[in-house]
Amino acid sequence: MSRHPLPDNLHLDTLAVRAAVDKSQYGENSEALYLTSSFTQPDCETAARRFSGEEDGFIYSRFTNPTTASMEIRLAALEGSEACIGTSSGMSAVLLLCMALLKSGDHVVCSRSVFGSTIKLLGSEFAKFGVSTSFVSQTDANAWKQAMQPNTKLLFAETPTNPLT
């Protein structure tokens, strides 16, 4: 996988088609889709280093694969960010964010208009671990301000919002 830096002055249209991994030895016009669950390793020593995290390399598609890596590189370039993490679903992205940022004693202010599973995650599941959540109207700026506490670590909203709430 290549992560060659691109010039800073590229237009978004160019980034959308050029910001990704190098083409394979087959010369395809666009990136191939890698529909495999695992990857062979050149030798046991390399496999051991890759599985232990000492060396980069594809080992198992649930961790990453060339298709996901290509999307991550391209999306990071389009957003002008340093990196990107691709997840299997929106809920896994929400969980990953919350697990990274929150600990017992923290507080979240969240829109009432989010996906129902997000309400359950923040209102019930994270409460088991000592994280409290205040739910407010997405469009009421004053409600957001009033819900803030000294231990508030995350403000969470989704757009577009859930039309059922």
**pLDDT tens, 97-129?**
999 999 999 999 999 999 999 999 999 999 999
Q: Domain limits of the chain?
A: 12-79, 91-156
pLDDT at 120: 97
- What would the DSSP string read from start to end of 22-85? PP-TT--SSPPP---SB---SSHHHHHHHHHTSS----BTTT--HHHHHHHHHHHHHHT-S---
Instruction: Report d(CA 87, CA 89) in Å as an integer.
Output: 6
Residue located via tokens 């890759």:
50
Radius of gyration from C-alpha coordinates of the chain: 20
- What would the DSSP string read from start to end of 93-108? HHHHHHHHH--TT-EE
First to last CA, the chain: 43
**pLDDT tens, 10-50?**
777 777 776 765 677 887 777 788 899 999 999 999 999 99
pTM, 2 dp: 0.74
Of 30, 3, 27, 2, the closest CA to residue 16 belongs to 30
> 156 φ, ψ to 5°?
-130, 125
